[in-house]
Amino acid sequence: MFSRRIPPQLEPNALSRAVAALRTRGAAIADLTDSNPTRAGIPYADDLLAPLADAAALRYEPHPFGLPAARAAVAADHARRGALVDPAHVVLTASTSEAYGWLFKLLCDAGDSVLVPRPSYPLFEHLTALEGVRARPYDLVWDGRWTVDVASMMAAPAGTRAVLVVSPNNPTGSYLSAEDLAATVELCRERGWALVVDEVFADYPLETRDPLTDIAARADVLAFSLAGLSKTAGLPQLKLAWMVVGGPAGARDRALAALELIADSYLSVATPVQVAAAHLLRAGGAVRGAIQQRIRHNLDALRAAARGFPACEVLRTEGGWSAVVRVPATRREEQLVLDLLAREAVLAHPGYFFDFPREAYLVVSLLPPPALFADACARLLRFVSG
Ligand SMILES: Cc1ncc(COP(=O)(O)O)c(C=O)c1O
């Protein structure tokens, strides 16, 4: 009855079932998977959302790419990181996920492929399948830092239309290095691929200096940088994201013309959030600062705690909202997280959710309140060290 874009199995996995069973019994779970900043005790000014009630939003002026003032505010915000962005190259969307959907419609016919990093963000599986597109992995390899295995990118099948990069990546935290960007751009040029860079966590550097950001604004192949209020201002509920389109002028402008048709068919971004965009981007700086402080504090606490457990290694976390801990592979990761939940009431993501190349890795969110985070990490490290 339903299309093959929908996975045949929709049942929750064993970990979700175990969490639901514990919650039904009223058990308190220390959730190290929660990456929702609005539930993490991050301070938000009471009047932060007041501009959503601006009377200017009573008027509906549909613009496929968004209201000019909102696009100008997004372009101006990029100057914070030293990038020069023309508002004419900014396309507003309701979410980064929607931006992916529009880009797959723009670049791919049904059955075409896009390259996606591995390990990375598990939603790619659905975002591609829902557009009738195949996700083909290329590998990130760990040798003290995560780098692109260019040979695995070169092995892309015919019918590949784009390469997706997440920088910093979720969950490895790795920013795309200048060398990996050069190799990726070279392949894009040779093979006619577009470059799609998810930079939703670009504002959250941790263990790095001078990370590369705003890649579409600097690329000389057709490129798209994706970001949004969800991460940059800790406001996922407002549903405002954007892409910056860059690259050689001819290709960029043809892409914009085609994207305009797609955007005009949806007109999905609500007017109040566009009217409020300039204010939200400015005032969101305080939320971003609080999140930055939180993730830095929690990463330091995790590193300090891990010093007492030499069998565990906290991998270098260049940026983003999560940390990866290599733990002894005493049992399969799935069993490990189920046992950790059952014995310690601590919930962590297993590495296989993100397609890590081998076991055992656990992924923890750096957002939870510090006391909960420190206690849960101490229990996790003790438990996995046996
Ligand atoms: C790498 C990455 N991209 C995109 C998103 C989703 O962003 P949005 O809320 O704008 O759809 C997430 C959410 O966690 C993410 O981890």
Domain assignment of residue 237, given as a range: 55-282
50, part of any domain: no
Task: Read off the pLDDT of each residue in 84-96 and give the average, rounded to a whole number.
Answer: 98
Ligand 1 center–CA 248 separation, angstroms: 27
Identify whether residues 219 and 132 lie together within a single domain: yes
Going from the Cα of 97 to the center of ligand 1, the distance in angstroms, rounded, reads 7
What is the CA(200)–ligand 1 centre distance, in A?
6
Task: Tell how strand 160-166 and strand 313-314 pair up.
Answer: unpaired
Q: Looking at 258, 282, 306, which one is the last position of a domain?
A: 282
Q: Is the pLDDT of residue 181 over 90?
A: yes
Percent of the chain at pLDDT exceeding 70:
100
- Tell me the pLDDT band of 8, cut-offs 50, 70 and 90: confident
Mean of pLDDT values over 38-65: 98
pLDDT of residue 355: 97
- 169: CA distance to ligand 1 center in Å? 11
| 185 neighbors 157 (Cβ within 8 angstroms) | no
pLDDT (tens digit, 9 = 90+) per residue, 346-368?
A: 999 999 999 999 999 999 999 99
Ligand 1 neighbours, Cβ below 6 Å, are 35, 95-97, 121, 166, 170, 198, 200, 228, 230, 236, 241
Condensed to tens digits (0 to 9), the pLDDT of residues 11-41 reads 999 999 999 999 999 999 999 999 999 999 9
Instruction: Report which protein residue has its CA nearest ligand 1's atom 5.
Output: 96
Nearest residue CA, atom 16 of ligand 1? 170
Is position 153 within any domain? yes
Choose which residue among 35, 102, 123 to substitute to test ligand 1 binding: the one with the highest number of ligand atoms within 8 A of its C-beta.
123
Of 249, 282, 315, which closes a domain?
282
Closest CA to 347 of 16, 8, 4, 2: 16
Q: What is the pLDDT of residues 215-228, one digit of tens each?
A: 999 899 999 999 99
Same domain for 273 and 349, yes or no, is no
Q: How many CB atoms lie within 10 A of CB 46?
A: 7
Tokens 């990490």 belong to: 377
Check whether 324 has a pLDDT greater than 90: yes
- CB-CB contact of 258 with 250 (8 Å): no
- Residue 216, in any domain of the structure: yes
At residue 348, what are phi and psi to the nearest 5 degrees? -135, 160
Atom 1 in ligand 1: which residue has the minimum CA distance?
A: 170
Residue pLDDT, tens place only, 113-143: 999 999 999 999 999 999 999 999 999 999 9
Length of the chain: 386
* Average pLDDT over the chain, rounded to an integer: 97
CB 173 within 8 A of CB 323: yes
The answer on pLDDT for 345 being more than 90 is yes
Whether residue 288 contacts residue 274, with contact meaning beta carbons closer than 8 Å, is answered with no
Each residue of 238-286: pLDDT tens digit?
999 999 999 999 999 999 999 999 999 999 999 999 999 999 999 999 9
pLDDT at 386: 87
User: Is pLDDT at 1 greater than 90 in this prediction?
Assistant: no
Does residue 1 form part of some domain? Answer: no
Domain count, the chain: 2
pLDDT band at 9 (very low <50, low <70, confident <90, very high): confident
**Using 50, 70 and 90 to split pLDDT, how confident is the model at 337?**
very high
In a domain, 2, yes or no: no
Compute the distance from residue 289 Cα to the ligand 1 centre, in Å. 19
CATH, residue 140? 3.40.640.10
For residue 242, report the distance from its CA to the centre of ligand 1, in Å.
12
Structural domain ending residue among the three candidates 267, 282, 297: 282
